[in-house]
A = this chain, B = another copy of it.
Amino acid sequence: MPQNTARMLQTHPNPASVFDQGALAECIDACFECANVCSSCADACLGEHGHLMHLVHCIRLNLDCADVCGTTGRVLSRLTQPDLNVMQAQLQACLTACRACGDECERHARDMNMEHCAVCAESCRRCEAACARLLEGMGA
């Protein structure tokens, strides 16, 4: 996790109590990284002139996943008076978006040797797993 992002959690006046601190920090970090990587992957796919026709579904899922992960990261990093139902539902949406985008990117990494899709699939898998861990900790 980038140093200052981690320090923000530590200097917050109301440190979170519902979640395991380490699992929460890891999930926030995974969400923001995945948001940025998915936004980049949509753009990299858009630049693949020879393969563009085959990357339409991938670009669409990248854009969805970028928005969903960014929103999830923001919701999770707000520690003041959280609503657990909102967090749980948004984590579930994030896990679902990361799975769909990770599956699609993995396919292009394997079948078309797309390196940016390989990196993106890795970020999606990491974020999917981090969401699953937080959801498990909530008893969901």
Q: Does A13 contact B (CB under 8 A)?
A: yes
Number of A positions contacting B (CB below 8 A): 68
Q: A13-B48, A93-B89 are in contact. Are A5 and B40 (CB under 8 A)?
A: yes
Best-surrounded residue of A32, A37, A43, A92 (most CB of chain B within 10 A): A43
* B residues near A29, Cβ cutoff 8 Å: 2
Question: Secondary structure at chain A's binding surface: helix, strand, loop or mixed?
Answer: helix
Convert A23-66 into 0s and 1s, putting 1 for each residue whose CB lies closer than 8 angstroms to a CB of B.
Answer: 00000110011001101111110111100110011011101100
CB distance from A31 to the nearest CB of B (A): 10
Q: A11-B115, A44-B11, A100-B85 are in contact. Are A67 and B75 (CB under 8 A)?
A: yes
* Inter-subunit contact B47/A80 (CB<8 Å): yes
Q: A4-B123, A119-B8 are in contact. Are A67 and B56 (CB under 8 A)?
A: no
**Interface, chain A (partner B; CB < 8 A):** 2, 4-5, 7-9, 11-14, 28-29, 32-33, 36-37, 39-44, 46-49, 52-53, 56-57, 59-61, 63-64, 67-68, 70-71, 73-75, 77-83, 85-86, 88-90, 92-93, 95-97, 99-100, 115-116, 118-120, 122-123
